[in-house]
């Protein structure tokens, strides 16, 4: 008989209990012992839920105090020297210092987990000597067994993936590092084998990317050594997010099971199975329920796929599971009371996906009749959404089809636009600005809550927002910034705000997912055709501009970021969704310009995270992503300066596409990567305006002037000072007022020093 499993479960809790515990501990409101106890309660509750649902093989050790990649680094004692780690079990002060920074040490770099919106902490290997500090998978296994009687499946980031995601060593040192890490992995696995653990899940998502011959050799070495060291241990080599490369080689590895993604890697993995078969001595982990999307699976379609797979693998060697960890979806639909019926009935969050997996497993083992009622209800729910009015707006479909058939271009090229914009704005060399948002204090959040509950009138709330704008316009002027922002105090989230004002969107009450650390986001749901209804940002921006003679930027979120940071419909191509968003946002850009706003920032921090993992698919995606941005911005006057912003991604392989977006100014995060992106500009000429974030806003520390002037100096070795801007690396919403003001004052002082230094060179 087939069995059921998942690859991981959301950490945060249905009401974000995990986030609240973390932030209470960081604020000193929870003692460490109580903090550990509270997280254990959350962790065990998640295991009980999976047990009650009927999941056969329940994952353990995927729960984290912050991030699972950081956990792996801590387990192996890979702590950068600047954190003054003394050995032994890594203290929480050091663990969280690596993630968030301290007064004495900058945080480790943070970047996207493959092509998702989850961020991991990048391990730094330079100067470290790996050693096992504690066997965390073993502790998690024992806890589940002793407390709940669960025979858990420990989850561990695989050695090749861990190395490929780490930094701080030269390529020629890879084998040396592998030789240091392998004995530690083996020791962890041997401890698990001695405990009679039945299955261990080794996550190797890097196998869905193109590997060098050397890495393919390393992969074989790793699993050959594991097979020799722990011959009786059932290792599930788990992949996800796409189809595996080198399938014929991977299925020959000496492991007991191989997990494949039959959702996002559906066509490639299915083709490989059909072409090469599946080994008779291995178990197939069939990831057929989408771990990243929020739509109900078509149970009939999934059963058809499973039936096809049983031609190659018998039921007793089949595990029905999620395509990846459920970390990427909200916890449950059950608590959502405000969604329209057609939409709510078509949704499946983590708990509902557990039910889908259990039902599909039952049908594989006992036949369709065993879930006949579930199949009928499933088909009714999916058909109702398909036929809804929101998904059949012909006016939107026809207009967007016509506009997207044209090539969007500004009237003048950048070299000529830059001249007329300088004449209009008269900005100094190295102009300063911020990315858009200012601190969302408790007072701001309380005011919004009172307004949403109806306890404040529209007039009261609007008056409060204007008071905040007044305060921060004056502060920006006092600090000495050149280009100002209104602060975005009326916005909860940079995507949610716009989704609430566009047709085709829906919003959950409890649909939170983890983005990084305790930062949780509640992605909108794009479930219908997207359309502009009325101006969304004009009122606040126009008011802010009326309070100062300095330029105030209009602030929008771009079409690709809105799409990538939302849960999107899966019945039409993503390209089509992007163009619908672009046309709606173009109307907002035009409304801002008509209101006298001559600098407009259209943020696209999420462009790269939508980049397909398969190299052969990337050019097509970037082409339509760039086109969508240009569709949004191409109709403005030559003197209107278009800004954009990108953060926390590796951009070196898409510099050409960034330039093709044709924004007059782009700001890019580089502070956590310590200016490594600048290397890209040493290899590629960049001729548009650019600002490389000079300090990390995700850390509470106030950066010193010297740090920022050093960042500027390195950037201006390869970038034109006439086109260079100085700014923080991201919005300041999560920071406190005092640290924000102090940091910006230091940034302006660093700019003054740099202006004196570089003015002579112009």
State residue 672's pLDDT score: 54
Q: Is residue 321's pLDDT more than 60?
A: yes
State residue 670's pLDDT score: 67
State residue 49's pLDDT score: 98
Between the alpha carbon of residue 302 and those of residues 59, 307, 330, 595, the distances in Å are 23, 9, 22, 52
Q: Higher pLDDT residue, 196 or 732?
A: 196
Q: Are strands 318-322 and 3-5 parallel, antiparallel or unpaired?
A: parallel
Q: Which residues are annotated as a binding site for L-homocysteine?
A: 435-437, 488, 603
Contact 56, 106 (CB under 8 A): no
State residue 671's pLDDT score: 58
State residue 631's pLDDT score: 97
Q: Nearest CA to 597 among 637, 648, 646, 545?
A: 545
476-535: pLDDT as tens digits? 999 999 999 999 999 988 898 999 999 999 999 999 999 999 999 999 999 999 999 999
Question: Taking CA 59 as the corner, what is the angle to CA 58 and CA 63, rounded to the nearest 5 degrees?
Answer: 135
Q: Is residue 328's pLDDT more than 80?
A: yes
Q: Is 679 a catalytic residue?
A: no
Between the alpha carbon of residue 455 and those of residues 450, 491, 510, 691, the distances in Å are 5, 18, 21, 42
Provide the 10 A C-beta neighbour count for residue 29.
11
Residue 761 burial class via C-beta count within 10 angstroms: exposed 0-12, middle 13-18, buried 19 and up: exposed
State residue 696's pLDDT score: 79
- Mean predicted confidence (pLDDT) in 212-223: 97
Q: Is residue 756's pLDDT more than 60?
A: yes
Q: Which residues are annotated as a binding site for L-methionine?
A: 435-437, 488, 603
Q: State how far Cα 262 lies from the chain centre.
A: 21
Provide the 10 A C-beta neighbour count for residue 150.
20
Q: Which residues are annotated as a binding site?
A: 16-19, 112, 117, 435-437, 488, 519-520, 565, 603, 609, 645, 647, 669, 730
State residue 673's pLDDT score: 55
Residue 1 burial class via C-beta count within 10 angstroms: exposed 0-12, middle 13-18, buried 19 and up: exposed
Contact 613, 114 (CB under 8 A): yes
Between the alpha carbon of residue 748 and those of residues 422, 476, 481, 700, 744, the distances in Å are 21, 11, 7, 18, 6
In the predicted model, what is the mean pLDDT of the chain?
94
Provide the 10 A C-beta neighbour count for residue 515.
15
- Mean predicted confidence (pLDDT) in 341-349: 98
State residue 759's pLDDT score: 79
Cα(370)–Cα(389) distance, integer angstroms? 34
Q: Is residue 648's pLDDT more than 60?
A: no
Cα(398)–Cα(335) distance, integer angstroms? 37
573-591: pLDDT as tens digits? 999 999 999 999 999 999 9
State residue 279's pLDDT score: 97
Q: Is residue 396's pLDDT more than 60?
A: yes
Name which of 5-19, 159-173, 607-621 the model is least confident about: 607-621
* Non-local CB neighbours of 198 within 8 Å, separated by 6+ positions: 151, 153, 234
| pLDDT band, very low/low/confident/very high, at 330 (cuts 50, 70, 90) | very high
Taking the whole predicted model, whether its pTM rises above 0.85 is answered as yes
State residue 760's pLDDT score: 61
CATH number for the segment(s) 3-386: 3.20.20.210
Q: Which residues are annotated as a binding site for 5-methyltetrahydropteroyltri-L-glutamate?
A: 16-19, 112, 117, 519-520, 565, 609
21-54: pLDDT as tens digits? 999 999 999 999 999 999 999 999 999 999 999 9
415-432: pLDDT as tens digits? 999 999 999 999 999 999
669: DSSP letter? -
pLDDT > 90: what percent of the chain? 86
Contact 544, 476 (CB under 8 A): no
43-61 exposure pattern, b = at least 16 Cβ within 10 A, e = fewer = bbebbebbeebebbbbbbb
Q: Nearest CA to 299 among 221, 378, 226?
A: 378
- Mean predicted confidence (pLDDT) in 535-564: 97
Domain spans, the chain: 3-386
State residue 652's pLDDT score: 67
Handedness of CA 654, 267, 8, 160 (dihedral sign): negative
685-742: pLDDT as tens digits? 788 999 888 887 777 888 899 999 988 998 888 889 999 999 998 888 888 899 999 9
């Amino acid at each position: 008989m087939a069995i059921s499993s998942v690859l991981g479960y959301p950490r945060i809790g249905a009401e974000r209990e995990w986030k609240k515990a973390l932030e209470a501990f960081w604020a000193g409101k929870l003692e460490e012992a109580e903090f550990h106890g509270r997280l254990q309660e959350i962790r065990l509750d998640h295991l009980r839920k999976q047990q009650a649902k009927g999941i056969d093989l329940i994952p353990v050790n995927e729960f984290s105090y912050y991030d699972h990649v950081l956990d792996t680094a801590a387990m192996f004692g890979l702590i950068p020297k600047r954190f003054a780690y003394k050995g032994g079990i890594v203290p929480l002060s050091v663990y969280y210092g690596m993630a968030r920074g301290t007064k004495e040490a900058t945080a480790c770099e943070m970047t996207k987990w493959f092509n998702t919106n989850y961020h991991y902490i990048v391990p730094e290997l330079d100067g470290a000597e790996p050693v096992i500090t504690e066997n965390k998978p073993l502790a998690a296994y024992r806890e589940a067994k002793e407390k709940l009687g669960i025979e858990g499946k420990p989850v561990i980031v695989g050695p090749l993936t861990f190395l490929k995601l780490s930094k701080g060593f030269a390529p020629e040192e890879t084998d040396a590092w592998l030789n240091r890490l392998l004995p530690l992995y083996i020791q962890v696995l041997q401890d698990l084998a001695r405990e009679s653990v039945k299955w261990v899940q080794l996550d190797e998502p890097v196998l869905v990317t193109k590997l060098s011959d050397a890495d393919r050799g390393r992969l074989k070495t790793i699993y050959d050594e594991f097979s020799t060291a722990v011959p009786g241990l059932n290792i599930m080599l788990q992949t996800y997010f796409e189809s595996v490369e080198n399938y014929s080689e991977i299925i020959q590895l000496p492991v007991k099971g191989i997990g494949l993604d039959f959702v996002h890697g559906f066509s490639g993995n299915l083709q490989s199975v059909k072409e090469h078969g599946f080994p008779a001595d291995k178990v197939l982990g069939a990831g057929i329920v989408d771990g990243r999307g929020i739509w109900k699976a078509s149970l009939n379609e999934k059963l058809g796929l499973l039936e096809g797979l049983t031609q190659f693998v018998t039921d007793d060697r089949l595990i029905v599971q999620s395509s990846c960890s459920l970390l990427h979806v909200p916890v449950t639909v059950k608590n959502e009371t405000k969604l329209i019926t057609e939409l709510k009935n078509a949704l499946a969050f983590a708990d509902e996906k557990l039910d889908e997996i259990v039902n599909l497993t039952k049908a594989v083992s006992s036949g369709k009749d065993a879930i006949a009622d579930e199949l009928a209800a499933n088909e009714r729910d999916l058909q109702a959404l398909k036929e809804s009015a929101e998904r059949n707006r012909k006016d939107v479909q026809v207009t967007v089809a016509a506009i997207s058939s044209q090539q969007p271009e500004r009237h003048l090229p950048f070299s000529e636009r830059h001249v007329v914009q300088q004449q209009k704005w008269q900005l100094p060399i190295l102009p300063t600005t911020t990315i858009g948002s200012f601190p969302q204090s408790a007072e701001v959040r309380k005011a919004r809550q009172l307004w949403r509950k109806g306890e404040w009138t529209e007039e009261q709330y609007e008056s409060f927002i204007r008071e905040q704008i007044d305060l921060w316009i004056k502060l920006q002027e006092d600090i000495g910034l050149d280009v100002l922002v209104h602060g975005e105090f009326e916005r909860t989230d940079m995507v949610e705000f716009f989704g609430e004002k566009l047709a085709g969107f829906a919003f959950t009450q409890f649909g939170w997912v983890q983005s990084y650390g305790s930062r949780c986001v509640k992605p909108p749901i794009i479930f219908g055709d997207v359309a502009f209804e009325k101006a969304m940002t004009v009122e606040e921006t126009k008011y802010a501009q009326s309070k100062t003679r300095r330029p105030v930027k209009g602030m929008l979120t771009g079409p690709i970021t809105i799409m990538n940071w939302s849960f999107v419909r899966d019945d039409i191509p993503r390209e089509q969704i992007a163009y619908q968003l672009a046309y709606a946002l173009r109307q907002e850009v035009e409304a801002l310009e008509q209101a006298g706003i001559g600098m407009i920032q259209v943020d696209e921090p999420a462009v790269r995270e939508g980049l397909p993992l398969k190299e052969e698919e990337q050019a097509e995606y970037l082409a339509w992503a760039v086109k969508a941005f240009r569709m949004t911005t191409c109709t403005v006057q030559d003197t209107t300066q278009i800004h954009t912003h990108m953060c926390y991604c590796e951009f070196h392989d898409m510099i050409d596409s960034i330039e093709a977006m044709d924004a007059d100014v782009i700001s890019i995060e580089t502070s956590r990567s310590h200016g490594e992106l600048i290397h890209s500009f040493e290899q590629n000429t960049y001729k548009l305006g650019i600002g490389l974030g000079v300090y990390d806003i995700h850390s509470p520390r106030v950066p010193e002037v010297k740090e920022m002037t050093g960042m500027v100096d390195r950037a201006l070795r390869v970038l034109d000072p006439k086109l260079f801007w100085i700014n923080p690396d991201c919005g300041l919403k999560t920071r406190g007022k005092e640290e924000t003001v102090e940091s910006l004052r230091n940034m302006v002082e660093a700019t003054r020093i740099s202006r004196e230094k570089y003015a002579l060179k112009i």
